[in-house]
Structure 1
Amino acid sequence: MANFEVTIENCNSIDTANILVTEGRLNIKYGPNGIGKSTIAKAIVSQAKQDGSLADLAPFKLRGKKGAGQPSVSGIDAISSALVFDEEYVNLFVFQQDEVVKNSFDIFIKTPEYDTAMSEIEKLFAGIKKAFADRPEIEQMIKDLKDLRDAFGKPNKDGSIAKSSKVHKAFGSGNKIDNIPDTLLPFETFVTSKNPSKWIGWQIKGKEFLDLGDTCPYCATSLEKPEQKETALAVAKEYDPTAINHLNNLKEVIERLGAYFSPACQENLSQITKAKTELTAIQISYLNDLKNSIEALIQQLEGLRNISFYSLRDVDEIDKKLPLLKIELGLIDKLDSEPSRAVTDPINAQLNSLIEQVGSLKGQINKHKAKIKKTIEENQDSINGFLRSAGYKYSVKIISESDSYKMKLEHDDLSDFVEAATNHLSYGEKNAFALVLFMHQVLSEDPDIVILDDPISSFDKNKKFAILHQLFRGKGSLRNRTTLMLTHDIEPAIDVIKSLSHKFQDPKPTATFLSCRNGILKETPIAGEDIRTFAKICIDIMDGASDAIVKAIYLRRHYEIIDDVGHAYNLLASLFKGRPVPTIATALENRDMSEEEKAAAESEVQKMLPAFNYDALVAQVNDAAAMKQKFAETDVGYEKIQLFRVIKGKHQDDVISKFINESYHIENEYVMQLNPHKFESVPEYVVDECAKALQDA
């Protein structure tokens, strides 16, 4: 496998970083917080995407300085695409109202194999699609038919046209546009204008001013005679602007559709729409029949226009379904005309051609359905297996939609799907879902490199391994993909490099330790033998260390780890407190050691440190200058902060003090660790703060 020797320069806190990424395998980069792991992720992604975002990583110290070095990444010329999982991905991860993840169809179903199969099926529908494409006026016809259908509204329980419908409002009381009352003939020009409803509305608004006097509120003409005022009020009495607007709109629709109606239907519609009085029962029945005919034709046209794999996916007997799609105008005689047949005949001809190939169509659809079913089952089993092994009570189910597929969320205690999942999932659950679904997004998009920025540190041990196994050993996992995992959690390295390395082979992952000093980030390879109990590490360091105080520090830690907190441990604890007379501090007593106890404790320590002399060393501990010198001489961060604690006791900054204390006691430390002499685990800023505090003392 090839290696990418990546060099990152002038990015945030990193002046220079050199890291090695092995192609086609998991590369774990373990290191403490604050050294620039997220910067590494952002820099590589920015360089791969070439989207100009690399410039955003310019260090503050270099911004605005002439000739300052610019952010750069080299060594990844072969990488042009990347996907990164980080906190931002989790925060932006969209749990939809009705599906677990946005675009679940694209992620879980729409593979290249899927696209190929769909393309072959669509070829069989090409003739019908072309019949529609060759007659663009069909779209307008369908729209007009829908407008006319919708104008009938929802019928009454007895099937009659509701008075609230547009049709009834327009024609129910007679057509007073084509049949203007005699009293309003002077207004004929306005009533028959292109948009009479606006004029009628304006006219009606003025009637409220008629009571102010005997003058027309529109033209100031005298209205002394009663019949003159009645004429002015007649518009409001005879016309409703809304009804007129409906009438005008429906007339336009009927006129556009006119050619598609049979000659008899055209004549009948003309009589109905121009009737002077309200509609008769026979006329209403005729309109109802017309509505049903229109609805039938719309269904037939849309069924053929939208014919596809999806429309036939759930049809058991396609060979019997296709003939039923034929448009039989003879059965909807109100729409049986030459222009209508000019539309439907070519479509029916193409449908007949498709029926001749129904065997091939049926076979391809069934084959495609079987592959989709298999894909769905594999994805569901993969995700649900992870959820079970990680202890989650959720599961997912991919279901078919009208023209797609969606992943739904289920809960063991709920009989229905979980809607708005984001309102129910905890942060950890969202993170776990996001991570596993991210894996499937990787499989879908196939990037050159996958970057996981601290993906599992927030989970407990069982869930960590479940996720690692799902990501790199599960079916359809990231195995054999170039993957960079950046983490401040040593457990992934312990699992894949040491304790469970036999489960992570072919290819075997790599692990390195990241450290940074003075802006220079470097990595040190981690082998299985580097991960040991800290008790054993303490013994190894004592064997090689030269300073007696430093040796005593590691011995005290060794005693604490193996839970041997007897007199020898108390002697070392007293030493670091600078007590001339050592003490015994337990839950039951707190007193000075007797000379005999001191001698026995000293003898016990000397089994590990033969040159140990309590009185001589306590004098060194109480010599501030000597202790500061020891601090300066060691270049091991772990030893520096231990010496700082001996010298100062605590740091004035609570955060720094907490870090030092947690390195001094074992409550928050893993049993397995790395040798601090080889792997610099203490962040540079902590060491710098300790050095500054000693300098100021």
Structure 2
Amino acid sequence: MHIQIENCNVIDSGSIDIETHKLNIKYAINGTGKSTIAKAIQAKVTDNEDGLKQLLPFRYEDNADEHQPSIVGLEDVHSIQIFNEDYVNQYVYQPDELIKDSFAIFVKTPDYDRNMEEITQLLERISQTFQSHPELDQLIQTLNQFIFGFGKATQRGLSAASPLMKGLGKGNMIHNIPQGLESYAPYLQHTEGAKNVAWIKWQLSGNDYLEMADQCPYCAGSIETTREKITRVRNVYDAKSIEHLDHLIEVYTALMPYLPENAQQQLQTILNNAANITDDQKHFLQAVKNDVDCLYQKLCNLKSTGFHNLKDVSQIENTLRNKKIDLPNYANLNSDLMRSKIDVLNATIDGVLARIIELRIKISHQNTLIQNIISKNQKEINDFLRYAGYHYTVSIEESEGKNYRLLLHYEDHREAINAVQTHLSYGERNALALLLFMYSIKRETPDLVILDDPISSFDGNKKFAIVNMLFKDPGYLREKTVLLLTHEFGTVVDMVHTMKRNFGAVSTAAFLSTRNGVLQEQQIHADDIKAYPAIAEKNIAESNDPLNKLIYLRRLMEFENNKNDAWQLLSNVFHVGDGTREIPRKCVGNGIGNPMTPDEIQKGTEDIKSYIPDFDYQTAYQRMENRNLLITLYDSTKANYEKLQIYRLIFIGRAMNVVVQKFVNETYHVENNYMFQLDPRIYDTVPQYIVDVCDQAINELREVQHA
């Protein structure tokens, strides 16, 4: 894929290439626009136009129409997954598991689904029975509503706060209208659509106006003789109790056909009570509830029969037989209608039992598969944690309502860590999150995976442990199209050079640079990564100016920690600006020692000539004293690394920008710890802002000299 990007943050224009089914490492210093590339690709693939527009460079805000962010070349990419802080914040370290939807990621494989489908087919007679007899679902609902009417259980029996006692506790006031209120029967007994409840609410709302006049608040007629009657409705009825009563009548009426005749008669008597429910009636209702409770649970369990409640292979037959319903044991539900429904269900269970051996084999196979999947995933993750030096382990455990969850433990501790954000360091969280991301990619299988600077916070061993886990054979990101954006050069060294035999065939690397808004890409091959001595020797031989040759030679000696007479002589060349080096002097710590002896000067000169045959100390000394010559050399050199070294020489004995000084001394002078490097004359790894500061200082110096 050839991807072109324009007008996105620091990138005005440029392109990168991504090879499919490979790890594409893009190495770049900070400020190049790595995250911008990731965001632009993500916005384009997900059709997030607003997200792409947000990448508009600030300098174009007043002229946005002519500089709209754009990215092309992703026509074959339809799905994308990106590892960045947003992924960590959204998916990882949930309150009760390490990653959202652990079951789908770590257990629910295609083989799992295939086996589950076979088990479901063997058990489908049970689910089909409920589908073919929709009245069974209605029966379950009615039983549940009957149970609900009893409210919370109390030691004294029926709770006074239960819908049952609120609706029937004082008798059925709809069926038994008090004497003197019979004229309201058409309204009180109109239960359709709960109109009786609405009427009572309406009736009671008018009571607030009875004291205002001797007229009816509804019809404005005289209420001199009916005031007491109207007030009595308020004293006898309240809308909430009638609402409970209506619902109870509806539920009990639906349940009655499933009860034997004597139970129906008793229940109807209770419904028609003119007064409080008696203790004997409460005892009867509680007995019915006990039967309903038990039957309801059995029906619900039967309907949900599946692998999750048949896992114990040795008990499958007993479990299924226990799901059959022995109706005679439910004295208050043993009716002909109920028996007709239960017989259908029991026959269904018998049909499944006829294939019990086949069912047992398939469930046993599924149990074995799950254990193997869990064992494999746990071992992979725990091996990584151990080899990377993290003192934690994970376990994949079954949890009611959650299927399976991935949990974290401190080593040798069984208790799971729930507050992961508190216990793990930033680096530990990031490493584990990246590992979990790998497993989610296994499930999602996107067209493109982007890793946005994922391993910069780890030390060397942990970095390699992570990369090895992601891309080793059969790592879950191996042979997928992956874009790895990083400012960590060690990753390039491992993947392209040191461990080429492990990763070379599935990875490619390039160096990205953005200069004045132009993004450029340079391929990095194995032979581009060299030990510094090889780079130094090459540049000593190829540099045109003797001064550049000396720069590389001195650093070569520093790299080899070879501070001999040659190094002493070169140090004097590079400190000419302090005015004390016409006769070379020894460097002692940070100070100046005694003059070098003629023999030491001769020995140092001979060693330098083995690299630079025409070297002469006095000639080099005189050139170093000529700042105009150094400025000309600064202007003409193409490599920014060499510019920085010449800049340092120009400003010896002068005030130097401390940022540049620190960058030169620590990054390029003597303290670069990389054994392997890219040639700084070919790969421009000097940040643009450093070069800009140097350019400005050189221009100011030039102006001073010309004044």
Q: TM-score range by the shorter chain?
A: 0.7 to 0.9
- Work out the number of aligned pairs and report it: 683
Alpha-carbon deviation of 1:565? Answer: 5.2
Within 5 Å, give how 1:643-658 maps onto structure 2: 643-648=646-651, 658=662
Alpha-carbon deviation of 1:359? Answer: 1.4
CA offsets 1:145-186 (integer angstroms, 9 cap, x no match): 21221221232236x222232222222232223223335445
**Match for residue 284 of structure 1 among 279, 282, 285:** 282
CA distance in 2, matches of 1:653, 1:202: 87
CA offsets 1:293-318 (integer angstroms, 9 cap, x no match): 22122222212221222222246311
**Match for residue 391 of structure 1 among 377, 389, 392:** 389
The corresponding residue for 1:590 is 591
> Which segment is superposed worse, 669-678 or 565-574?
565-574
Alpha-carbon deviation of 1:551? Answer: 2.4
One-letter amino acid of the counterpart of residue 604, structure 2: E
CA offsets 1:589-623 (integer angstroms, 9 cap, x no match): 734x5444698468526522454455544554454
1:445 to 2:475 alignment: no
Secondary structure of residue in 2 paired with 1:409: strand
Work out whether residues 85 and 438 of structure 1, in 8 Å CA contact, stay in contact via their aligned partners in 2: yes
CA distance in 2, matches of 1:611, 1:276: 125
Within 5 Å, give how 1:310-459 maps onto structure 2: 310-314=308-312, 316-402=314-400, 404-412=403-411, 415-459=414-458
The corresponding residue for 1:634 is 637
1:670 to 2:674 alignment: yes
Within 5 Å, give how 1:66-85 maps onto structure 2: 71-74=70-73, 79-85=77-83
Q: RMSD of the TM alignment (CA)?
A: 3.7
Secondary structure of residue in 2 paired with 1:10: strand
**Match for residue 177 of structure 2 among 133, 156, 180:** 180
CA change 1:201–1:51 in 2 (3 A) is: closer
CA distance in 2, matches of 1:576, 1:306: 84
CA offsets 1:652-688 (integer angstroms, 9 cap, x no match): 9876665444324444542322221232222345434
CA distance in 2, matches of 1:133, 1:156: 37
CA offsets 1:395-433 (integer angstroms, 9 cap, x no match): 221122346222222223754222243344332222112
> Which segment is superposed worse, 435-444 or 417-426?
417-426
CA change 1:198–1:338 in 2 (3 A) is: same
Secondary structure of residue in 2 paired with 1:95: strand
One-letter amino acid of the counterpart of residue 168, structure 1: M
Work out whether residues 172 and 278 of structure 1, in 8 Å CA contact, stay in contact via their aligned partners in 2: yes
CA distance in 1, matches of 2:26, 2:398: 41
Alpha-carbon deviation of 1:472? Answer: 2.0
One-letter amino acid of the counterpart of residue 444, structure 1: R
CA change 1:213–1:83 in 2 (3 A) is: closer
CA distance in 2, matches of 1:93, 1:601: 66
CA offsets 1:2-37 (integer angstroms, 9 cap, x no match): xx5x2424362162324352x544343323233343
One-letter amino acid of the counterpart of residue 381, structure 2: I
CA distance in 1, matches of 2:558, 2:215: 106
One-letter amino acid of the counterpart of residue 698, structure 2: L
Alpha-carbon deviation of 1:361? Answer: 1.3
Secondary structure of residue in 2 paired with 1:324: helix
1:694 to 2:698 alignment: yes
Work out whether residues 53 and 69 of structure 2, in 8 Å CA contact, stay in contact via their aligned partners in 1: no
One-letter amino acid of the counterpart of residue 4, structure 2: I
The corresponding residue for 2:167 is 170
CA distance in 2, matches of 1:315, 1:244: 52
The corresponding residue for 2:542 is 544
Alpha-carbon deviation of 1:351? Answer: 2.4
Secondary structure of residue in 1 paired with 2:417: coil
CA distance in 1, matches of 2:5, 2:266: 83
CA distance in 2, matches of 1:89, 1:666: 39
Alpha-carbon deviation of 1:570? Answer: 6.1
One-letter amino acid of the counterpart of residue 520, structure 2: L
Work out whether residues 387 and 465 of structure 2, in 8 Å CA contact, stay in contact via their aligned partners in 1: yes
Work out whether residues 19 and 523 of structure 1, in 8 Å CA contact, stay in contact via their aligned partners in 2: no
CA change 1:416–1:216 in 2 (3 A) is: farther
> Which segment is superposed worse, 290-299 or 378-387?
290-299
CA distance in 2, matches of 1:450, 1:462: 24
One-letter amino acid of the counterpart of residue 429, structure 1: E
The corresponding residue for 2:607 is 607
CA offsets 1:28-67 (integer angstroms, 9 cap, x no match): 3323233343444455556666776896487647896778
Work out whether residues 512 and 519 of structure 2, in 8 Å CA contact, stay in contact via their aligned partners in 1: no
Work out whether residues 83 and 447 of structure 1, in 8 Å CA contact, stay in contact via their aligned partners in 2: yes
CA change 1:52–1:562 in 2 (3 A) is: same
Work out whether residues 147 and 253 of structure 1, in 8 Å CA contact, stay in contact via their aligned partners in 2: yes
> Which segment is superposed worse, 382-391 or 648-657?
648-657
Secondary structure of residue in 2 paired with 1:451: strand
Alpha-carbon deviation of 1:137? Answer: 4.0
CA distance in 1, matches of 2:700, 2:198: 86
One-letter amino acid of the counterpart of residue 674, structure 2: Y
Work out whether residues 394 and 409 of structure 1, in 8 Å CA contact, stay in contact via their aligned partners in 2: yes
The corresponding residue for 1:253 is 251
TM-score w.r.t. the length of structure 2 is 0.85
CA offsets 1:172-213 (integer angstroms, 9 cap, x no match): 232223223335445545544535556656766777888x78
CA offsets 1:122-164 (integer angstroms, 9 cap, x no match): 1122222222223334333322321221221232236x22223
Secondary structure of residue in 1 paired with 2:682: coil
One-letter amino acid of the counterpart of residue 454, structure 1: D
CA change 1:252–1:305 in 2 (3 A) is: same
The corresponding residue for 1:10 is 6
CA offsets 1:94-134 (integer angstroms, 9 cap, x no match): 32221111111111122222221111111122222222223
CA distance in 2, matches of 1:41, 1:214: 78
CA distance in 2, matches of 1:425, 1:62: 42
The corresponding residue for 1:580 is 579
CA distance in 2, matches of 1:309, 1:324: 16
The corresponding residue for 1:558 is 556
CA change 1:690–1:398 in 2 (3 A) is: same
Alpha-carbon deviation of 1:438? Answer: 1.3
The corresponding residue for 2:26 is 29
> Which segment is superposed worse, 122-131 or 194-203?
194-203
Secondary structure of residue in 1 paired with 2:92: coil
Secondary structure of residue in 1 paired with 2:94: coil
TM-score w.r.t. the length of structure 1 is 0.86
CA distance in 2, matches of 1:14, 1:678: 23
CA distance in 1, matches of 2:655, 2:319: 81
CA distance in 2, matches of 1:178, 1:652: 102
Any gaps of 5 or more consecutive residues in structure 1?
none
The corresponding residue for 2:705 is none
CA distance in 2, matches of 1:691, 1:200: 90
Work out whether residues 214 and 224 of structure 1, in 8 Å CA contact, stay in contact via their aligned partners in 2: no
Alpha-carbon deviation of 1:377? Answer: 0.7
Secondary structure of residue in 2 paired with 1:484: strand
CA change 1:54–1:156 in 2 (3 A) is: closer
CA change 1:472–1:425 in 2 (3 A) is: same
Within 5 Å, give how 1:475-486 maps onto structure 2: 476-486=475-485
CA change 1:323–1:157 in 2 (3 A) is: same
Secondary structure of residue in 2 paired with 1:522: strand
The corresponding residue for 1:307 is 305
Work out whether residues 571 and 598 of structure 1, in 8 Å CA contact, stay in contact via their aligned partners in 2: no
Work out whether residues 651 and 690 of structure 1, in 8 Å CA contact, stay in contact via their aligned partners in 2: no
One-letter amino acid of the counterpart of residue 460, structure 2: K
CA distance in 1, matches of 2:614, 2:437: 57
